[in-house]
């Protein structure tokens, strides 16, 4: 989206100098750092997404998913919402320049039961679903007399100690602890929150000292953090850990890493051993012409690193800056100008641990607690696209400080026709097949 936005501003699209076509399965861009707050209800989910048609008014938006790309022939084959209706016929798009920035997808390991019971945390739909699910578990625990069902409903297991896992757990634990004040038979100490991490630390991006502080802070909120531990199985709603612990749970959130988007393997472009596009410092795919890549999908050399051969970390800090350089280089190539190499020294990282708690390691300085949480909010507010979204997010934060949290579960949104189907079924003619 950022690349297309910059091309829209720099090219004369209305004068037939170029046409920019954006192919995306969803007609919006998700600002993923705000997903934990959307899950906790601090931000409305619709305010963490940016509608592409509004922002990219001069571009052509194609809602669909690239199934394969033949760069030698300059053809991309797209599956659109009407593909199945037309007998599976794919839409073929021809192009002159190709920009691949599909990001990454969740890396699901072959853990028994994971596919059936695991919950991801990569999209806004998953964030909404997880919020509804957590509140539904409180309803289940409050209404059942079965001790085993209550225990499983009040046990929440998160696998993965990176940004997604820690921030999602911190925000949802904070929300659930607030919500149980409205349940007469559930106390905060009845809930069990477990974070499972295979390495010996969490949040490695913020440094060892801040990672240790994050562990101490979360454990102070009765979060059970299992370092050096793996999930062995989650069949039959029982999380079996490598340390021998068996945790009956109805909630298992999987945030244990990501992998390159599958579309990269469906191209004829060079990939690294990890499946990412091999790009040079100008963000051109190595050994090709008119093919470009940025973000999680690209392996871009970090020219500011002390150790030669180091690649840029696959995070938003690099991706947003790479998008601008990539767009400028496309314009430069179209107009016969020299290309610019991408160069950005990593500034640091910030992470939220829930309301008023956070950790940060920025330009060598360490922050924790409220200052780090405030920096986290200010930084991401400055980075979320469009003034419209900035204003709406800021307004929601201000209103949240004046009013009580919303603790309503709208799980029925996932099955909106269930009520009508029930009504229609109850009046069905018994003689009708």
- The length of the chain in residues reads 433
| Average pLDDT over all residues of the chain | 90
Q: Once rounded to an integer, what is the mean pLDDT over residues 346-352?
A: 85
Q: Calculate the alpha carbon distances from 203 to 104, 124, 197, 413 in Å.
A: 19, 22, 10, 33
Question: What integer pLDDT is reported at residue 427 of this predicted model?
Answer: 52
The full DSSP string for 368-401 is ESHHHHHHHHHHHHHHSSSHHHHHHHHHHHHHHT
Q: How far apart are CA 162 and CA 196, in angstroms?
A: 11
Whether residue 343 has pLDDT greater than 90: yes
Question: What integer pLDDT is reported at residue 348 of this predicted model?
Answer: 79
Q: How far apart are CA 7 and CA 290, in angstroms?
A: 15
Q: How far apart are CA 350 and CA 343, in angstroms?
A: 21
> Any residues with CB less than 8 A from the CB of 317 and at least 6 apart, and which?
344, 346, 347, 349
SS3 state of residue 230: coil
What is the tens place of the pLDDT at every residue in 202-249?
A: 998 888 889 999 999 999 999 999 999 999 999 999 999 999 999 999
Q: Where is mean pLDDT largest: 36-45, 153-162, 384-393, 416-425?
A: 153-162
Whether residue 425 has pLDDT greater than 90: no
Whether residue 173 has pLDDT greater than 80: yes
- Among 343, 344, 329, which Cα is nearest to 289's? 329
Q: Where is mean pLDDT largest: 103-107, 284-288, 306-310, 412-416?
A: 284-288
Whether residue 433 has pLDDT greater than 60: no
> Any residues with CB less than 8 A from the CB of 133 and at least 6 apart, and which?
119, 251, 411
The full DSSP string for 237-263 is GEEEETTS-EEE-SEEEE-S-EEE-GG
pLDDT > 70: what percent of the chain?
97
- Among 268, 383, 381, which Cα is nearest to 315's? 383
What is the tens place of the pLDDT at every residue in 74-86?
A: 999 999 988 877 7
Residue 431: pLDDT band by 50, 70, 90 thresholds?
low
Question: What integer pLDDT is reported at residue 97 of this predicted model?
Answer: 96
Domains defined for the chain, CATH in brackets: 1-102+260-334 (3.50.50.60), 118-256+348-402 (3.50.50.100)
User: What is the residue whose two structure tokens read 């100690």?
Assistant: 161
Residue 423: pLDDT band by 50, 70, 90 thresholds?
confident
Is 272:278 a contact under the CB 8 Å cutoff?
yes
Torsion sign over Cα 120, 121, 124, 130: positive
- Among 294, 290, 332, which Cα is nearest to 314's? 294
Q: How far apart are CA 297 and CA 260, in angstroms?
A: 6
Q: What is the pTM of this model?
A: 0.88
Q: How far apart are CA 138 and CA 156, in angstroms?
A: 11
Question: What integer pLDDT is reported at residue 385 of this predicted model?
Answer: 86
Residue 359: pLDDT band by 50, 70, 90 thresholds?
very high
Q: How far apart are CA 209 and CA 324, in angstroms?
A: 33
Q: Calculate the alpha carbon distances from 173 to 39, 110, 353, 370, 378 in Å.
A: 11, 28, 9, 17, 22
The full DSSP string for 48-101 is SEEEHHHHTTTSEEEESEEEEEETTTTEEEEE-TTTGGGTTPPEEEE-SSEEE-
Question: What integer pLDDT is reported at residue 15 of this predicted model?
Answer: 67
Give the burial class of 74: count Cβ atoms within 10 A of its Cβ; 0-12 exposed, 13-18 middle, 19 or more buried: middle
Whether residue 428 has pLDDT greater than 80: no
Question: What integer pLDDT is reported at residue 411 of this predicted model?
Answer: 65
């Amino acid at each position: 989206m950022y690349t297309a936005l910059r091309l829209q501003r720099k090219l004369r699209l209305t004068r037939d100098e170029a046409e920019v076509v954006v192919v995306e399965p969803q007609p919006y861009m998700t600002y993923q750092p705000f997903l934990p707050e959307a899950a906790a209800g601090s931000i409305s989910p619709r305010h963490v997404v940016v509608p592409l048609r509004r922002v990219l008014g001069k571009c052509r938006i194609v809602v669909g998913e690239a199934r394969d790309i033949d760069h030698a022939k300059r053809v991309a084959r797209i599956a659109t919402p009407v593909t199945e209706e037309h007998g599976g016929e794919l839409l073929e798009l021809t192009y002159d320049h190709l920009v691949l920035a599909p990001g990454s997808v969740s890396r699901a390991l072959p853990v028994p039961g994971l596919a059936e019971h695991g919950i991801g945390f990569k999209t806004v739909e998953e964030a909404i679903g997880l919020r509804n699910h957590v509140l539904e578990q409180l309803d289940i625990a409050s209404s059942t007399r079965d001790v085993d069902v209550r225990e499983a409903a009040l046990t929440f297991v998160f696998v993965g100690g990176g940004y997604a896992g820690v921030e999602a757990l911190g925000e949802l634990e904070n929300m659930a602890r607030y919500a149980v004040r409205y349940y007469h038979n559930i106390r905060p100490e009845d809930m069990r929150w477990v974070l499972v991490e295979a390495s010996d630390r969490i949040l490695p991006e913020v440094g060892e000292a801040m990672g240790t502080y994050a562990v101490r802070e979360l454990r102070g909120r009765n979060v059970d953090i299992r370092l050096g531990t793996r999930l062995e199985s989650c069949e039959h709603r029982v999380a079996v850990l490598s340390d021998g612990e068996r945790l009956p749970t109805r909630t298992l959130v999987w945030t244990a890493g990501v992998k390159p988007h599958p579309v990269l393997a469906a191209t004829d472009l060079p990939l690294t051993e990890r499946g990412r596009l091999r790009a040079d410092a100008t963000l051109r795919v190595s050994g090709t012409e008119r093919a470009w890549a940025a973000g999680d999908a690209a392996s871009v050399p970090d020219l500011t690193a002390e150790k030669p051969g180091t690649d840029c970390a696959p995070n938003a800090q690099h991706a947003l800056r790479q998008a601008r350089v990539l767009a400028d280089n496309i314009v430069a190539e179209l107009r016969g100008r020299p290309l610019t190499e991408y160069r950005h020294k990593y500034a640091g990282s910030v992470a939220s641990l829930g309301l008023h708690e956070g950790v940060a390691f920025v330009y060598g300085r360490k922050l924790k607690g409220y200052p780090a949480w405030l920096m986290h909010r200010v930084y991401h507010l400055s980075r979320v696209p469009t003034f419209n979204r900035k204003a709406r997010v800021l307004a929601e934060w201000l209103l949240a400080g004046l009013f009580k949290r919303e603790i309503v579960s709208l799980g029925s949104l996932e099955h909106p026709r269930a009520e009508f189907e029930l009504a229609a079924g109850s009046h069905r003619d018994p003689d009708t097949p």
